[in-house]
Amino acid sequence: MTDRGREWRLRALPRGALAAGDLELVELALPPLADGQVRLRVLRLPMDPAIRMTLASRGDYGAGVAVGAAVRGLVLGRVEASRSSALAVGDIVSGFGTWSDRLVADAAAFSRVALIPDLALSIHTHVLGTSGLAALHGLQDVAGLRPGDRVLVSAAAGGVGSLACQFARLLGASRVVGIAGGAGKCRIAVERYGCDACIDHRAAPDPQALEAALRSALPEGIDVGFENVGGAPLQAALALLRPGARIALCGMIAEYDAAAPAPGPANLWNLIVQRARIEGFRVAPLLADRARVDALLARIEGWLRAGALRYDIDERDGIEAVPQAFAALSSGRHRGRLVVRVAD
C-alpha cells in the first residue's frame, strides 16, 4: 500500500459553484520515481478560491484542468522518497501539486519550508505561505504602497485580505478600510484585523450605495486598492481613485462561479482622469524568484515574531473533506485561511 495514493479528479466541468458531484476521489498506484522527482506525503491542502478558474475554459489560468485529470493546487507536504539532490527525505516542502494525499512530482516544483517551532504547520500556507506572499507582494511590489497612503481592501476578512489589511498598516498606511460580506465579517475586519472601518457589501443594494458608503469612510479617496473580488467592489474602488492611485488585482471572487464572464466596471475612464492603474498579479510565478520570496517572508516573520499579526486558520480534517471545504470558500462560511489537514 505504500506506493498507492488518492487524488481528487474532475468528473465534470462545474456549472456555478463547484459541487461535490463534480469531483471524484480516485485511488491510484503511484508511478516509480524518475530522475529529479520526489514522492510526497501531503500534509495540508490550502483551499484557494481562484482554483475554480482552472476548472473552466475561462482563460489560461495555470494549465487548466481537463475532465478526468487531478485538480491542481497548492500543497504542503513531507518528502517520503527522493531522486533529487535538491530535496531530502523528511524535508517539509511547498509548491503546486494535486489535491491528493500522496503524489510524485518533479522536485523543481517544490521548495523547502523552514519550520518555526511552536507554530502550527498550516502557518506555512497562510501568514508564512502564499496568502502572506500574495498580500505583501501585492501591496509592496505591485501597488507600491508608500507611507501615508489610504488603502482599500476587499474580502477584508478573508485569508489574503485579513493579512493585506494588517500589512498595509505596518507599511505605514494612514487609513485602511475594508469591504466584507456581512456584519460579522466587518466586525472582525475592524476589531481583529485593524481596519479603520469596514463596509458590508451585502447591505448595499447596488454599486452606487456601496460607493456612497465607501466615500463616507474614505472621504479623500484611495491611493491603493487591494482587490480580491471584482464586480461592485472594483467599480467602487475605481470611483474613489486619487491621482496616481494603484489597484493591485489579486483575485475576482465575484467572477469565479459565474456561468459566463460578467461585464466589467463602467468607470475605467477614471483611470485616465486620475492617471491611475490596475495591475494583476499571481503568486505562482513569484515563487520562481526565491530571493524575492525569501525577502518577503523574512519581513513577515519579523512582524510575526514581534506579535504584530493576528491570523486565523480554519482547518478541516481529511482528504475526503476537500469538496465541502472548497464550497465553504464561496459561501463565506469560514474564517481566515481555509486548509484541509490531510496528514500530520
Residues that bind a copy of itself (CB under 8 A): 50, 53, 58-61, 230, 234, 243, 249-252, 255, 261-282, 285
Distance in Å, CB of 119 to a copy of itself, minimum: 30
Cross-strand partners of 246: 224, 277
225 CB-near residues (< 8 Å, 6+ apart):
143, 151, 152, 153, 154, 234, 237, 240, 241, 245, 246, 247, 248
Distance in Å, CB of 238 to a copy of itself, minimum: 9
Is 174 or 267 the residue whose CB approaches a copy of itself more closely?
Answer: 267
Distance in Å, CB of 250 to a copy of itself, minimum: 8
Hey, what amino acid is at 315? E
Is 117 or 285 the residue whose CB approaches a copy of itself more closely?
Answer: 285
Is 206 or 344 the residue whose CB approaches a copy of itself more closely?
Answer: 206
In terms of Cβ atoms closer than 10 Å to its own Cβ (0-12, 13-18, 19+), residue 317 is exposed
Distance in Å, CB of 69 to a copy of itself, minimum: 19
CA distance 309 to 299: 12
Cross-strand partners of 24: 9
Distance in Å, CB of 237 to a copy of itself, minimum: 12
By the 8 A CB rule, do 210 and 201 touch? yes
Distance in Å, CB of 58 to a copy of itself, minimum: 7
Take residue 172 and report the three cell numbers written for it: 505605514
Is 31 or 244 the residue whose CB approaches a copy of itself more closely?
Answer: 244
CA distance 214 to 216: 5
Take residue 237 and report the three cell numbers written for it: 474602488
Is 194 or 233 the residue whose CB approaches a copy of itself more closely?
Answer: 233
**Measured at the alpha carbon of residue 109, what is the angle toward residues 107 and 114, in degrees to the nearest 5?**
80
By the 8 A CB rule, do 161 and 153 touch? yes
Is 152 or 340 the residue whose CB approaches a copy of itself more closely?
Answer: 152
CA distance 68 to 13: 10
Take residue 332 and report the three cell numbers written for it: 463565506
Is 205 or 263 the residue whose CB approaches a copy of itself more closely?
Answer: 263
Is 78 or 282 the residue whose CB approaches a copy of itself more closely?
Answer: 282
Number of neighbouring beta carbons within 10 Å of residue 134: 28
Distance in Å, CB of 179 to a copy of itself, minimum: 17
Distance in Å, CB of 207 to a copy of itself, minimum: 11
CA distance 90 to 80: 6
